[in-house]
Amino acid sequence: MSLPSAPVSSFASDNAAGVHPLVLESIVASNQGSALAYGADRYTDEAVRHFRELCARDLECLFVFGGTGGNVLALASLLETGEAVLATDTSHIHVDEAGAPERLTGTKIITVPHSDGKLTVKDIEACVADRAQMHHPRVGVVSITQVTEMGTVYDPDEVARLAEVCRRRGLRLHMDGARIANAVVALGGDESLFRELTKHVDAVTFGATKNGGMFGEAVIVFSDHGKANLGYIRKQLAQLPSKMRFVSAQFNAMLADGLWLQTAAHANTMARGLYERLTDIQSLQLSPPQANSLFPTIDHASAATLRDWSFFWDWNDALNQYRWMTSWATTPEDVDVFAKAVRSVVSSS
């Protein structure tokens, strides 16, 4: 079987895409003269202002280098000494950060089996029941991912219910929003839905790199819940960019006219398109995507053929499950090429 040329855009992950032209333009435009380091510049003032407008809520907004660092800073800001974090067994902080939260904050991550990628109110209640014991790890922060690692999306009601039990139990709620833009779009929403989605949350890691950025994420900590000295803790976690303007310039491009939602909408649409082109193939198990990822079940041989052709990650080896992901840069042509190759490989297997 001969396959066509691989698609220009990889389906491996949204971080295989480059930088969106408008974001890059903003970076280039900010490269004018001197700007004091560490955020004492006008680009950063502007980016923080954008976040204050977006959230319409008292907050601290800190830009960091990357997603793992952002999650660790958010957790560090919410944890009291000795407290553990509750998350699902598929959570990025548990599975994909090489133990960074444990090493950098000393916390323990308590996991529960995910329910379609999500954590439930019942999981929190069960974990809290264990807190009285001096010997058992003691949860202080609940962390959820939006979009989840299984491609699902918490709606505002679900988040509100989790937040309610957290508040009642003296816990704080963290949202790892590495793909929060894709979630907002998936829920059919705009900036007001973002506010709805985060209004009961104590800290959000707001993803940018996967959504058309070059590097840098934002950590938003809502007041009264985070530590007083977050800027200092960021530095201590080695997450303070010196030439900060180049991070801020990205957020300015993304947030100014809703670009962040447009790029996410495009990625979601491409995933939906790929799904629709493949849904009739009997031997391919595939649920409709909520955001920008698909989790097909394919036989090993077909998967291997396809991955050699255009790389993507396996997701659950035992279940023959893989992940395909679209991005702001994926084109309808990429989807066509990819869908055809899948069809030809899977059908012939």
Binders of its own copies in range 117-146 (CB under 8 A):
134-138
Nearer to its own copies, 253 or 329 (CB): 329
Q: Which of 208, 221, 346 is nearest to 264 (CA)?
A: 208
Say if residues 93 and 176 touch (Cβ distance below 8 Å). yes
Q: Does residue 5 belong to the site contacting its own copies (CB under 8 A)?
A: no
Rounded least distance, CB 278 to its own copies, Å: 20
Q: Quick one: which of 192, 223, 236, 347 contacts its own copies (CB under 8 A)?
A: 236
Q: Give CA–CA dist 114/148, Å, rounded.
A: 10
Site for its own copies in 276-295 (CB under 8 A): none
Q: Quick one: which of 5, 242, 282, 348 contacts its own copies (CB under 8 A)?
A: 242
Q: Does residue 320 belong to the site contacting its own copies (CB under 8 A)?
A: no
Nearer to its own copies, 50 or 234 (CB): 234
Binding piece for its own copies, criterion CB under 8 A, among 4-12, 151-159, 193-201, 283-291: 4-12
Site string for its own copies, 27-66 (x = CB under 8 A): xx-xxxxxxxxx--------------------------xx
Say if residues 180 and 146 touch (Cβ distance below 8 Å). yes
Q: Does residue 241 belong to the site contacting its own copies (CB under 8 A)?
A: yes
Bridge pairing between strands 84-88 and 139-145 = parallel
Q: Quick one: which of 3, 12, 22, 256 contacts its own copies (CB under 8 A)?
A: 12
Site for its own copies in 244-283 (CB under 8 A): 246-247
Q: Give CA–CA dist 208/187, Å, rounded.
A: 19
Site for its own copies in 165-194 (CB under 8 A): none
Q: Quick one: which of 42, 53, 99, 300 contacts its own copies (CB under 8 A)?
A: 99
Nearer to its own copies, 238 or 319 (CB): 238
Rounded least distance, CB 180 to its own copies, Å: 16
Site string for its own copies, 325-344 (x = CB under 8 A): ----x---------------
Q: Does residue 103 belong to the site contacting its own copies (CB under 8 A)?
A: yes
Site string for its own copies, 211-230 (x = CB under 8 A): --xxx-----------xxx-
CA dist 308 → 17, 315, 344 (Å)? 19, 16, 15
Rounded least distance, CB 241 to its own copies, Å: 6
Q: Quick one: which of 47, 61, 62, 104 contacts its own copies (CB under 8 A)?
A: 104
- Total site size for its own copies, rule CB under 8 A: 77
Say if residues 102 and 71 touch (Cβ distance below 8 Å). no
Q: Which of 11, 8, 92, 20 is nearest to 325 (CA)?
A: 11
Residue 271, beta-bridge partner list: none
